[in-house]
Structure 1
């Protein structure tokens, strides 16, 4: 192991004519009072705390920036998930509605044609005759129902009911000379489903937010 190099003599000490030291540079203080130690400790603690807080603030800013970038990147996926949820909800509502409608038509198959006569009261009031075609099961008891509906709307013309095999249980056609009306539950369900699909396709990923007050 090599010896440590010798420190050169510094000419910073000044002697007088008698050989006494006239000036000497101050030496580092090696002994401190308790008050001085506490002061130095407090300063060091403050500097360390400031550095730690600055480091934490930088880390927080970096984390927030990363979260913001992740949220922005996730927006398209969230919009897709929301759209899929809307589609599934609409399809479920449509299926429930169809089931309820089928049950109602099975229980009251004459309700659609009764409603049609009420809505067409002005159109059929001058018609001398109404020609109605319906499925055999419905046509069997439809004459009395139509006469009751005609009396309710003030229609005094003749009503003729024909049985048409192959028609759906609640389906019917109503011909009043100057116009006609028809109802087919299956065709109506297809039209409703097509309208719903078209609305969802037009809406796409730009629909209103699922949560009121939020923005996509």
Structure 2
């Protein structure tokens, strides 16, 4: 039996440098210089866009990090500012207490006299007014209040008694139908409450209320303008 051999078609074509130009029916197309440049430019553009996208993503991430850190710094500064605000207010109150305490040591009798003077003007019809003060002020205030009673037209009896439980600068005024008490502790408590209310207000609200003129200032300004 004779075997039929397939005839070699010499369909593979080589270039002078050995490059296969055609392999059977498949032809390896050679690019022109313009096409090669176009493809190279497209590849470069794609690479550049990829790098720009990566750079944009990195920049966005960096901005997010910076924004987060800036927010943390601002929050810390705000907390520090609030703490300093509270400390300043309480320091002012503490200083005021020291000053007030020293003033009471020196002007305790004057403070009690001023309180009693206001009461005498409103209690002219009372037959008796009793005043309880710290024992060290009894002698000094007895004469002072008698003089104040005469000036106010108070015709009743003015009695000054010493009380060990009454602090220096405090007093208790008693008459037939009532009594009033002036204590430094109560005044300090009211000041402390006022400070706490002020601290509890938002800073912007507190600042606007401090800057706003009161009615007296507005009236004065209107009068000056007129």
TM-score normalised by L of structure 1:
0.60
- Residue 59 of structure 1 and its aligned partner are, at CA, apart by 6.4
SS at match of 1:120: helix
Equivalent of 1:7, from 19, 31, 37?
A: 19
Following superposition of structure 1 onto structure 2, how do residues 6-155 of structure 1 map, counting pairs within 5 Å?
Answer: 6-9=18-21, 62-73=61-72, 77-155=76-154
- Name the CA shift for 1:61/1:125 in 2 (closer, same or farther; >3 Å): farther
CA RMSD of aligned residues (A): 4.3
Give 1:199's aligned residue: 197
Q: After the TM superposition, which of the residue ranges 150-159 and 164-173 deviates more from structure 2?
A: 150-159
Q: C-alpha distance in 2, partners of 1:153/1:111?
A: 17
Q: Unpaired segments of 5 or more residues in structure 2?
A: 1-16, 23-30, 35-47, 209-226
1:176 aligns with 2:171: no
Higher relative contact order (CA 8 A, sep 6+): 1
Q: After the TM superposition, which of the residue ranges 155-164 and 80-89 deviates more from structure 2?
A: 80-89
- Name the CA shift for 1:7/1:148 in 2 (closer, same or farther; >3 Å): farther
Contact 1:136 1:165 in 2 (8 A): yes
